[in-house]
Structure 1
Amino acid sequence: MSLITHITADADLTPGLAAEDGAKSFRRMIWEDDGAPETATKVAVWIAEPGIYPYPPRDLEETFVVLEGEAMCSLGGAAPEKIGPGSIVRVPRGVAPWLHVLTPFRKLATVVPKP
C-alpha cells in the first residue's frame, strides 16, 4: 500500500455489508498493522448507497469520521442522531451500530479488535 492515499479514490474497492433493501456498500483498506488478520488494527474507507445498514454487536472498537453524506446513526438501540461531514462517531466494543444512510455516504474508520 502507498504511504499517500486519497480519501476520494475509489480504486481497490471490495463489497461491504448490503443494506436491508439491497443497497450496496464498499470498503477500501487504507492501512492494516502486522498482526494476525483477526486481531489487526485497520483503517479503511467505507462508501454506502442510501439504505439501512444494521450491524450486530462486534468484538471490536470503531471510531469513524464522516467525510460526505448524511445518515441517522443509533448505537446499541439508542435514539438515532443525524450525522454528516465532520461528525466523529465512537462505537464501543459489543455495541450494535445502525446506520440509515440518507445520501451517498463516505466515512474513514479505524477498527481495533479486542481479543
Structure 2
Amino acid sequence: MSIYWNVKDDTGRTEAAVAENGAQSYRRMIWEDQGDSAAAVKAAVWIAEPGIYPYPARALEETFVVIEGEADCRIGDGEKRRIGPGTIVVVPKGEAAWLDVITPFRKFAMVVPKP
C-alpha cells in the first residue's frame, strides 16, 4: 500500500453523493481502518461539481480540509459560512451538514465513527 498520495490524482475514484441538481460527486478512498466497515475510521478525497449536497445526521464525526473550490456550508441549525481552500470544518456526530458547492470542489476528509 502506498503511503504517498496526491489529492489531485483521480485514479480509483467512485461515485458518491448526488446533488439536488443531479451533479455527481466522487470519492477516492485513501485509507480505511481494518475490521467492521461501519465502524472504520476512513480518509478520503471528495470531488464535487457545483450543486447542493445535503447530508443527514450520522453516527460519526467528520473533519475535512478544503483543498480547492468554494462552497457555502451549514452544520446543523448553524449559520451559513463561505468556505474555501485552507478552511477546516468539523461536523460533529449527530449533526446534519449541507454544502452548496459554488465552484469545482475538492476536500480531504477523515471520518471517525462515534458509539
Question: TM-score of the superposition, structure 1-length normalised?
Answer: 0.97
1:6 and 1:100 map into 2 onto residues whose CA distance is: 25
Aligned to 2:3: 3
Aligned to 2:16: 16
1:111 has 2:111 as partner: yes
Aligned-partner residue type, residue 72 of structure 1: D
1:97 and 1:90 map into 2 onto residues whose CA distance is: 10
Structure 1: runs of 5 or more not aligned: none
Deviation sequence 1:58-99 (CA, Å, 0-9, x none): 110000000000000000021110000000000000000100
Taking only the aligned residue pairs, the percentage that are identical comes to 61
Deviation sequence 1:4-41 (CA, Å, 0-9, x none): 11111000010010000101100000011113101010
Aligned to 1:51: 51
1:68 and 1:90 map into 2 onto residues whose CA distance is: 17
1:38 aligns to what SS in structure 2?
helix
Structure 2: runs of 5 or more not aligned: none
Pairing 1:15-34 to 2, within 5 Å after superposition: 15-34=15-34
Aligned-partner residue type, residue 45 of structure 1: V
The structure 1 segments of at least 4 consecutive aligned residues displaced by more than 3 Å after TM superposition are: none
Q: Over aligned residue pairs, what C-alpha RMSD do you find?
A: 0.7
1:3 and 1:13 map into 2 onto residues whose CA distance is: 17
Aligned length in residues = 115
More strand by share: 2
